[in-house]
Structure 1
């Protein structure tokens, strides 16, 4: 199990994909000599109150940890894996076939991580990046031992904080933020056409699912991280607000504990959890080798739940987070919640 500090830091900013081949491919943009402009440039990105201009596509990208895989998965989905010189992100599993293996194969920069399980300032500068991606602004905070955006700008490195990460409050995040991430990276790397194809495919799939579940009852769903401790109560890793609520809504469900906290996560007692009529369970695995076992244990612990009586649960990893595969989470959850709707449509 991760430490409380690592989980709290990472998961608060991990918000954390359209299906695409996840292997690296060669860049569509030919790089020009340093200091010159490549075709399609300059482009500017507004990010956390800063405007950053790119005169060419980045070629030395560092992806900070943040307990997320949104950024690295988006890069792979866009065919930009060959630009990564150091990747700090990994979940160990994915709904996308081959993605976890592709992430594992990326260079890590051989960095000794700091107490926040991320890349410290001097090591970051030593990597000579031209673009650094962070899930939240935490990754550029000097108080935490990281290189600041100003530090990196001084060595001609651009920086990017993912959508809703500027104030480190991911409770407002939606699937649309995943599309923003793809569009921004598409613009930065001059592969906007790829980004738009991924977005269009995701929107179509989600729209088709919404049509299948229209008019169905809306079950209460508990979303919880398997075998994690983030607070002082028995259930301190319950998802309350954020992108998972949008995913649930698109799948025809609702978060049973959305009102339990105003933040992304709720820290709940066993009594509070037991009192809620949970119709279905979504267990999110973060490097847990057997999240299904955790789900079965939880259902056994609360036999009064409709979810326990119907053995209704599913396990997810990266698709319910910010990133390019939210449509996979919507599809998997919708089929769990509304199997009859898909059976009647001949798509079960």
Structure 2
């Protein structure tokens, strides 16, 4: 038989009133002190303020579900922290990674045998059937009932806490920075009581990025185009071009600047071929999302716009997960800096 916490507290109070030993015995005080020390040592309970909701965990999650959102940030963060064995269903994957073995490790994770919905994600009934105790979503979109997903309230009713990644509360990652990747690591470190691992990863990343940034400081900042390969997200020819978000921070740390930052306030720009042709592009970063040959797309792009300095100098690099939210932004900073400032890095 299980007793909820308010009922258990009331029962304890009633028993106290009936026993002479209740209240101030040294044994009870020692017991309470011991229980408090044990709780402190375990690191629980843990409370997170996440997207205007408080989530309290009494223990580390053991049945984690990772929603898609066209991201690998959440699953990569869990793997980087050594928590892959907690995942019972993962829907994320880019097909490749700058981290050796990462893509293969993601591919091996269980999917929960879920039949995804039209948004390529886990519908409400399937989610509840997975019996999760912790669900991660890139943005609040993954918990929107209108999209056929389980809400955070519905998950709480079945004993599952939920988490929306940094800058995902309003489903707008345009203000995302590398610091948000560190926040995701810190939050997961806290949730799973592995904060020491999280802090080591963050410290190593910060050290690497600081070293690269110091080498390129004072150098001219080339204008860089960052886009997904072979992906359409709007009505124009170039609708998967990054205009804002974490890529801007990565470019700045690597000694570059976004060539299309002035085209929109949104994360992605939806650009015509004429607009792209009229912009000076010094270098190109092609991001792969399940594209086995992003280099072929990069070469095709440079051939299409031979007037670009990037085309004349064949200046491009192909990347994937390190350019977006996740534990590997330092790799992107390093690789982009090597492309932009090969003599300095």
TM-score (norm 2): 0.88
**What's the RMSD between the two structures over aligned residues?**
1.0
Return the structure number with greater relative CO, CA threshold 8 A, min gap 6: 1
Tell me by how many angstroms 1:320 deviates.
0.5
Q: Could you list the runs of 5+ residues in structure 1 that have no partner in the other structure?
A: 1-35, 343-348
Within the alignment, does 1:175 sit opposite 2:178 as a pair? yes
- Match for residue 105 of structure 1? 108
- Output one character per residue of 1:35-83: Cα deviation in whole Å (capped at 9) or x when no partner: x968111111010001111110000000001110000000000000000
Bigger Cα Rg? 2
- Match for residue 129 of structure 1? 132
1:309-328, aligned counterparts within 5 Å?
309-328=312-331
Distance in 1 of aligned mates of 2:60 and 2:297: 43
Secondary structure of the corresponding residue to residue 303 of structure 2? helix
1:247-286, aligned counterparts within 5 Å?
247-286=250-289
1:119-268, aligned counterparts within 5 Å?
119-268=122-271
Secondary structure of the corresponding residue to residue 273 of structure 1? helix
- Match for residue 118 of structure 2? 115
Number of matched residues?
307
Which aligned segments of 4 or more residues in structure 1 are displaced greater than 6 angstroms? none
- Output one character per residue of 1:270-292: Cα deviation in whole Å (capped at 9) or x when no partner: 11001111000000000011100
Distance in 2 of aligned mates of 1:240 and 1:278: 13
Tell me by how many angstroms 1:87 deviates.
0.3
- Match for residue 42 of structure 1? 45
- Match for residue 70 of structure 2? 67
TM-score (norm 1): 0.87
Secondary structure of the corresponding residue to residue 261 of structure 1? coil
- Match for residue 86 of structure 1? 89
Distance in 2 of aligned mates of 1:172 and 1:251: 18
Tell me by how many angstroms 1:215 deviates.
1.1
- Match for residue 337 of structure 2? 334
More helix by share: 2
Secondary structure of the corresponding residue to residue 344 of structure 2? helix
Secondary structure of the corresponding residue to residue 266 of structure 1? strand
- Match for residue 76 of structure 1? 79
